[in-house]
Amino acid sequence: MIKAFKWWWGIVLAFSLLGLSRAFLPLAFLNEVIIFSIYTIGCSFLLGRVGFISFGQPAYLAVGAYGTAFYLFYFGTNPYVGLLVGVLSGLIVSGIVGPLFVKLRSDYFALVNLALAVIIFYLMQKVLADITKGDNGLWFLTNIASTPVLDLGKPSHFFIFALLVAMAVWAFYKYLDDSIFGACCLATKINEDKLKFLGYSNYSVRLLAFIMANTTTALAGAMYAVYLGFVSPEMSSPHRAPDPVVVTILGGVGTLYGPLVGAFAYTGMKDAISKLIGNWELFIGFLLVFIMLAGEKGIWGTLQPHLEKLFFWKKRKPETDSSAKAPR
């Protein structure tokens, strides 16, 4: 019981804080933050744990979003089924491209993903324009049926749903980090040969990580679709490629709460800075360079050791050093 509590309390605390902030932050902002953080956790996992950076996360986001959108626009009305369809399409697409992509070196990997995003962009914008309505996008907000208990059509209900989903996602990734699989991922990042000697296949470890991460990204896409009731090719446009990478770095690569903190900061700053100086790219670009040069720890990576010291300085003092090096 106590063990279970110890394991869960960080996640519960993080999301309770987010839930409480509902009192003084606009709902639209919080919904955006939650979906964005789910969007980013896949990218963060790939970079931090497997050592792969992907400039093509919008591809998987769009796959999830369009999966959901097609269902809700053409076939059904139940948003939960729509979400499921979105996640499944993400699983299928990453299952198809994964075996090819994970064989590539990290630089090729990043760019091939970008290429996939471009392909999906043109696919949705031009080639499949008959069913995707091209740049006009698919509008299906009115198609979404109201459901009992949590009515996803209502932003306030959606918020609760999103919180629960995010908690589940975080629990999943925390579990991964603790598991042998998580250790294997780190091993394949640091030293491929050693993992091979231990009898694990780099290929399958990477493939599994790739599929899980990108299915998570597709989940975020599906949630966007349900939340906005609208999808357009813009979602996978190469212009959107920076977002998850920037948030990952901003939050702190490979940390568990980095994506959440990063998404919060990014969404917040985007609003504030666009209003203030109206030049968002200038700020975020140089912030990215700065974080990289300053030791690539990001916000959470920097804060975490301090927070731990603050809360656990009696209990876990000897541990703080090691956790500062490998924050989770």
Partner 1 sequence: MMDTQLLISGVIFGLSIGSIYFLMAIGLSLCFGLMRIISLDQLLYYSIGAYITYSLSLATGNVWLGVLGGVAVGGITAFAVERLVFRRIYERELTFSMITSFGILIGGIGVIKFFWGVVPRPVPVPTMSQIDIIGTDVPVYRLIVVGVAALVYIGIWLFLNRTIIGKAIRAGIEDVEHVEGLGINVSRLFTITFIIAGALSGLAGGLHAPLIMVDPAMGLEVLAFVFMVVIIGGLGSIKGTLISAFIVGQVVSIGSLIYAPLAMMAPFAIMLLILLIKPTGLYGSTLVKK
Is residue 73 within the footprint of partner 1 (CB under 8 A)? no
Q: Coil, strand or helix: which one is 137?
A: coil
**Site for partner 1 (CB under 8 A): which residue of 25, 88, 92, 118?**
118
Residues in contact with partner 1, counted by CB under 8 A, come to a total of 48
Return the number of the residue (3 or 105) whose C-beta is nearest partner 1: 105
Asked if 4 interacts with partner 1 (CB under 8 A), we say no
Sole binder of partner 1 in the list 152, 284, 299, 303 (CB under 8 A) = 284
> Taking CB under 8 A as the rule, does residue 110 contact partner 1?
yes
Asked whether position 195 contacts partner 1 by CB under 8 A, the answer is: no
Q: What is the DSSP letter of 127?
A: I
Scanning residues 212 to 271, which ones bind partner 1 (CB under 8 A)?
238-239, 241-242, 245-246, 249
Q: How far is the CB of 100 from partner 1 (least distance, A)?
A: 6
Length of the chain: 328
Can you give the C-alpha Rg of the chain in angstroms? 20
* Stretch of residues binding partner 1 (CB under 8 A), selected from 23-31, 64-72, 152-160, 288-296: 288-296
Among 114, 209, 223, 260, binds partner 1 (CB under 8 A): 114
Does residue 108 bind partner 1 (CB under 8 A)? yes
281 versus 321: smaller Cβ distance to partner 1: 281
Q: How far is the CB of 174 from partner 1 (least distance, A)?
A: 24
**Distance in Å, CB of 64 to partner 1, minimum:** 20
Q: Which of 88, 160, 208, 288 is in the footprint of partner 1 by CB under 8 A?
A: 288
- Using CB under 8 A as the binding rule, whether residue 205 contacts partner 1 is answered as no
CB of 53 to partner 1, least distance (A): 4
DSSP collapsed to 3 states, the chain:
CHHHHHHHHHHHHHHHHHHHHHHCCCHHHHHHHHHHHHHHHHHHHHHHHHCCCCCCHHHHHHHHHHHHHHHHHHHCCCHHHHHHHHHHHHHHHHHHHHHHHCCCCHHHHHHHHHHHHHHHHHHHHHHCHHHHCHHHCEECHHHCCCCCCCCCCCHHHHHHHHHHHHHHHHHHHHHHHHCHHHHHHHHHHHCHHHHHHCCCCHHHHHHHHHHHHHHHHHHHHHHHHHHHCEECHHHHCHHHCHHHHHHHHHHCCCCCCHHHHHHHHHHHHHHHHHHHCCCHHHHHHHHHHHHHHCCCCHHHHHHHHHHHHHHHCCCCHHHHHHHHHCCC
Min dist. Cβ of residue 142 to partner 1 (A)? 30
Q: Which one of 96, 292, 307, 326 is in contact with partner 1 (CB under 8 A)?
A: 292
Residue type, 24: F
User: Would you tell me which residues interact with partner 1 (CB under 8 A)?
Assistant: 47, 51-53, 55, 100, 103-108, 110-112, 114-119, 122-123, 125-127, 129, 238-239, 241-242, 245-246, 249, 279-289, 292-293, 296
